[in-house]
Copies of this chain bind each other. A is one copy, B any other.
Amino acid sequence: MQNAKTVRRVNVGLIGLGTVGGGTLQLLAQNSRLIADRASEIVVKRVCNLDIPYTEAKIAELGLTETTATSDYHDLVNDPEIDIVIELIGGIHPALEMVKAALSAGKSVVTANKDLVASHGAELFQLAAENKADFLFEASVAGGIPILKALKDSLAANNIVEIMGIVNGTTNYILSQMSHTGADFQPCLQRAQELGYAEANPTNDIEGFDAARKMAILASIAYNANITEDMVYVEGITKISKFDIDYAAQLGYVIKLVGLARPGADSETTAENSVEVCVYPLMIPLAHPLAAVNDVFNAVFVEGDALGQSMFYGRGAGSLPTASAVAGDVIAAARHILNGTKGGYGLRLFAQRQVLPIGECYNKFYIRLMVQDKPKVLAQIAEAFAASDISLDSVIQKRVMDSGLAEIVLITHQVKEANLQEAVERLHRLSCVDCVASLIRVKGE
């Protein structure tokens, strides 16, 4: 059935034909009629990719008769018929130069590039505003989950009380595997690599850097502030042992790598002053909605002062899920062009915000210690905590190892992190303490 209404048309240029680029080209081709009905005809006029023969074969395979291939991005940026440039090559350079050139030419830009947005976001928002162009990047955080648009639009009347995000599928897969199989970190990482969920060099994922970029973007939008990845406190998951996973389960928790953003503990209101933006392993109560988010799935838990608790769940990576977010942004940019409001809905990062140093943050802690199995050890430990003004919620377990050392697990009340660090130094100085084996934050009430 053909539509009676006038067909509206927007031309697009696509840079990068990797996993996400290939998925985007495929999605725009296979759902072209649906997209035309809902918004406008979207024609991919040019694809820029170094491997021209591969690109031409892909274009032919999808039956795209109006699409040509180039290896020079200037061919897209300088083409006056192209309205929207989609940047999907990733990394900072030359993506930054490409995006700047496109925005400067007054073209709207859609990207999935978290590295770029988390490091040069404010500069690019500014450039987009100056050139009355859209700069959209939904796919840069949590893949197909439409969390950025929700924060910008639907939740705009809310002060954001807290964001907790499972925004890295690789680490969530590894921790889920450790939890379900009882295996330790290394074999689970290896399994993730075999399945293609982790890269050969997994540093960016397992050290939390990838999650930190996403949290910088989320926090910038939630708190209307310019927060870059270097401002985010990060701990990865390499130190999490199967013993911690096991104790967590006994205590009614599950360990997840969580990105957290919330007003700083020193803030009077959520609308001003400092923010906390961190990525670290966190023990989450089993009843919390995030606790059931397993394997490579992502989820962002948002608490708003009016909305209350909400959660957005889905696939945070992968060719078509990410392409879904890219295409959603392309449709938004196309609608703005056809309505004459290109660049009319840009972000304004108006707030003055300091990111609170980690030492100033408050958390509950799980601490696993290896100690000499001697009398009065517990009293010495309790004294070390008391000297740093830390009160203990509970002392959970004590088992004697083959080595003759005993294992003690403690949970603190909410403490200032600087005080906890001081207490840990005290513990290290005690002759009865062999080592502080683990130190993991606990989601407190």
Chain A interface residues toward B at CB < 8 A: 1, 3, 5, 23, 27-28, 31, 33-35, 37-39, 138, 144-146, 149-150, 153-159, 224, 271-272, 289, 292, 304-315, 318, 320-321, 323-325, 327-328, 330-332, 335, 339-341, 344-345, 348, 350-352
Contacts and interface: CB of A to CB of B under 8 A. Distances in A.
A314 B324 contact: no
A116 B224 CA distance: 36
Smallest CB-CB A-B distances: 4 pairs: A146-B154, A157-B327, A310-B314, A306-B324
Contact of A31 (B28, B306, B335): B306
Contact of A144 (B149, B306, B350): B306
B321 A307 contact: yes
A144 B308 contact: yes
Given A37-B350, A292-B292, A311-B314, 16 more contacts: A5-B348, A33-B271, A37-B348, A144-B304, A144-B310, A153-B328, A157-B327, A157-B331, A289-B292, A304-B324, A305-B320, A306-B323, A307-B315, A311-B313, A335-B345, A341-B344
Contacts of A327: 156-157, 306
B308 A352 contact: no
**Chain B CB within 10 Å — which of A150, A159, A304, A330 has the most?**
A150
Contacts of A341: 339-341, 344
Contact of A306 (B138, B153, B155, B320): B320
Contacts of A34: 157, 159, 271
Nearest to A345: B335
Contact of A27 (B38, B306, B352): B306
A345 B345 CA distance: 14
A443 to B, nearest CB: 17
A271 B339 CA distance: 25
Nearest to A318: B308
Contacts of A31: 157-159, 305-306
Contact of A38 (B224, B311, B325, B335): B224
Contacts of A352: 1
B328 A156 contact: yes
Given A150-B150, A328-B156, A345 B350 contact: no
A61 to B, nearest CB: 18
Contacts of A305: 31, 320
Contact of A308 (B308, B310, B321): B321
14 contacts: A3-B350, A35-B156, A38-B224, A146-B150, A149-B154, A153-B328, A157-B323, A157-B328, A158-B324, A304-B324, A308-B314, A308-B318, A309-B314, A340-B341
A156 B321 contact: no
A3 B318 CA distance: 41
A284 to B, nearest CB: 13
Contacts of A292: 289, 292
Contact of A157 (B28, B158, B308, B315): B28
Contacts of A332: 153
Nearest to A352: B1
A314 B307 contact: yes
Contacts of A156: 35, 38-39, 327-328, 331
A305 B321 CA distance: 9
A154 to B, nearest CB: 3
Contact of A331 (B153, B159, B306, B321): B153
Nearest to A144: B307
A309 B294 CA distance: 13
A330 to B, nearest CB: 8
Contacts of A23: 306
A389 B143 CA distance: 44
Nearest to A330: B157
Nearest to A332: B153
